[in-house]
Amino acid sequence: MAVFSAITTRRSTTRKAEATQQLIVFRLRNEGFALPIRAVQKVIPMGKIYGAPGQSGVSLTLYQEQELIVIDAGHRIFRGVPSQDSPTSSVLRQSSTEQLDDTSSEQRYLLIVQSSQGKLVGLPIEEPPSLQRVPESAFAPLTSEYISEGNIRCVSALIKQNNDQPPLFLLNPDQLVQLQQALPPTVR
Across residues 56-79, what is the average pLDDT?
86
Across residues 23-39, what is the average pLDDT?
94
Domain count, the chain: 1
pLDDT tier at 98 (50, 70, 90 boundaries)?
Answer: very low
Cβ contacts of residue 185 below 8 Å, gap of 6+?
none
- Identify the residue with better confidence: 72 or 133: 133
Q: What tens digit of pLDDT does each residue of 144-172 get?
A: 888 888 888 889 999 998 878 899 999 99
pLDDT tier at 14 (50, 70, 90 boundaries)?
Answer: low
pLDDT at residue number 97? 44
Q: What's the domain range around 36? A: 21-177
Report the C-alpha dihedral over residues 162, 167, 172, 178, rounded to 10 degrees. -160
Question: Cβ(42)–Cβ(112) under 8 Å?
Answer: yes
- Identify the residue with better confidence: 99 or 170: 170
pLDDT at residue number 157? 94
Q: What tens digit of pLDDT does each residue of 112-156 get?
A: 999 999 999 999 999 999 999 999 999 999 888 888 888 888 899
Domain contains 6: no
Question: Cβ(120)–Cβ(68) under 8 Å?
Answer: yes
Domain contains 99: yes
Alpha helices in the chain (DSSP H): 6-14, 73-77, 87-97, 144-149, 173-177
Strands 155-159 and 40-45: unpaired
Domain contains 75: yes
pLDDT at residue number 22? 96
pLDDT tier at 55 (50, 70, 90 boundaries)?
Answer: low
The pTM assigned to this predicted structure is 0.74
Q: Give the side-chain half-sphere CA count within 13 A for 128.
A: 8
Rounded to the nearest 5 degrees, what angle is found at the Cα of 133, between the Cα atoms of 89 and 34?
20
Domain contains 4: no
pLDDT tier at 3 (50, 70, 90 boundaries)?
Answer: low
Average confidence score pLDDT of the chain: 79
Task: Please say if the pLDDT value at position 83 is more than 70.
Answer: no
- Identify the residue with better confidence: 22 or 4: 22
